Amino acid sequence: MSFGIDDLPVRDELRGKSPYGAPQLDVPVRLNTNENPYPLPEPLVERIAERVREAARGLNRYPDRDAVELRTKLAEYLTKTGKYPVTAENVWAANGSNEVIQQLLQTFGGPGRSAIGFEPSYSMHALIARGTGTRWISGPRSADFTLDVAAAGQAIAEHRPDVVFLTTPNNPTGNALPVETVLALYEAAQAAKPSMVIVDEAYIEFSHGDSLLPLLEGRPNLVVSRTMSKAFGAAGLRLGYLAAHPAVVAAVQLVRLPYHLSAVTQATALAALEHTDTLLKYVEQLKSERDRLVTELRAIGCEVTASDANFVQFGRFADTQEAWRKILDRGVLVRDNGVPGWLRVSAGTPEENDAFLDAVRELKKEQD
């Protein structure tokens, strides 16, 4: 037996654990990580090259530690699309929303503190909690994957967590939360502790409904987390951001590493934000492909959870692992999120979605 992790003096809570890892397999159709399937348009690629060349000339210096220009542009984007005015003071950016969430847990969680999420939900919330020494509480979700306000509120009252995660639209189930639910759970969290409520809106641009940004008014313990990985089609850029009361932005600066956002990242993100309209033009197409996936999967005889995201949860399979493998054997990679009976597929190009639907059709025929 070779020397392994558990032979090292690692922290107890890391023993026997596996790292987060959606398989990165080289197959014809990859629909497993909710990426945007369209490459960046050529004029944007050119603009990125230009801005990065400019930034390269200054790489002997540390980047703008506070990323003020970038936060200003992100604030403009939010103000334009979120029906609520925010400024750079309300916005903070980091390397993906994963890092935003990590900074929030380092600030508001940590040893002796706890965070709750309503599972199944985005598994990194629990993993980042673990990495920051925050005790994780798995809150309840109904059998149809909706959130029962009374049950969720009761879990908050009982556990009095320091941080509450509300993911809308939720990953991997795809459904969004009604605004009344978020309001009720914010109130429950304030009555219980008070705690910070993080609304993870990674997929909000694909939703039938609006962003919850206007709820920030008068609610300093609310944070809305966003990303350029999905709707902007820039997962490789690693740029996530949050909107909140300026005090929250000041607080996360207590834990962020100095110069965490490289000059190259800031330049690339700024170039991308100059092309917001071009980038977001695929959102409508992906939404209609998402709706087509829902309709066609149901026609094939699958159960499907209503989706407000760029992916669809479908089932149910007696053997989820086997179904995943059989779809992969037909050249299509989807995601097994560990929800028994269910798999998740990201909306791809029309051709990719056709290939996926053909694979499921064949699988279903085999099973009937």
Which among 328, 335, 241, 233 has a CA at the least distance from the CA of 283?
233
- Residues in binding contact with ligand PMP, number by CB under 6 A: 13
Q: Which is nearer to ligand PMP, 63 or 233 (CB)?
A: 233
How do strand 222-227 and strand 311-315 relate by DSSP bridges? unpaired
| Structural element, H or E, at residue 53 | helix 42-56
User: Does 171 participate in binding ligand PMP (rule CB under 6 A)?
Assistant: yes
Q: Which residues contact 244 (CB under 8 A, 6 or more apart)?
A: 90, 92, 216, 220, 222, 223, 224
Phi, psi of 92 (to 5 degrees): -135, 145
**For the chain, what's the residue count?**
368
Q: Which is nearer to ligand PMP, 235 or 251 (CB)?
A: 235
CB of 294: closest distance to ligand PMP in angstroms?
Answer: 19
Please, what is the Cα angle at 230 between 54 and 299, to 5 degrees? Answer: 155
Q: Which residue of 202, 216, 248, 286 would you call a contact of ligand PMP, by CB under 6 A? A: 202
Site string for ligand PMP, 341-360 (x = CB under 6 A): --------------------
CB of 100: closest distance to ligand PMP in angstroms?
Answer: 7
Amino acid at 67: A
Q: Which residues contact 189 (CB under 8 A, 6 or more apart)?
A: 156, 161, 164, 195, 196, 197, 221
User: Does 98 participate in binding ligand PMP (rule CB under 6 A)?
Assistant: yes
Q: Which residue of 139, 233, 240, 348 would you call a contact of ligand PMP, by CB under 6 A? A: 240
Contact 298, 160 (CB under 8 A): no
Q: Which is nearer to ligand PMP, 30 or 326 (CB)?
A: 30
Which DSSP string do the residues of 291-304 spell out, in sequence order?
A: HHHHHHHHHHT-EE
Q: Which is nearer to ligand PMP, 87 or 95 (CB)?
A: 95
Q: Which is nearer to ligand PMP, 98 or 313 (CB)?
A: 98
CB of 98: closest distance to ligand PMP in angstroms?
Answer: 4
* Interface positions, 116-135, toward ligand PMP (CB under 6 A): 122
Coil, helix or strand at residue 247: helix
Coil, helix or strand at residue 7: helix
User: Does 97 participate in binding ligand PMP (rule CB under 6 A)?
Assistant: yes
Q: Which residue of 167, 195, 221, 305 would you call a contact of ligand PMP, by CB under 6 A? A: 167
Q: Which is nearer to ligand PMP, 63 or 120 (CB)?
A: 120
The contact set with ligand PMP (CB under 6 A) reads 34, 96-98, 122, 167, 171, 200, 202, 227, 229, 235, 240
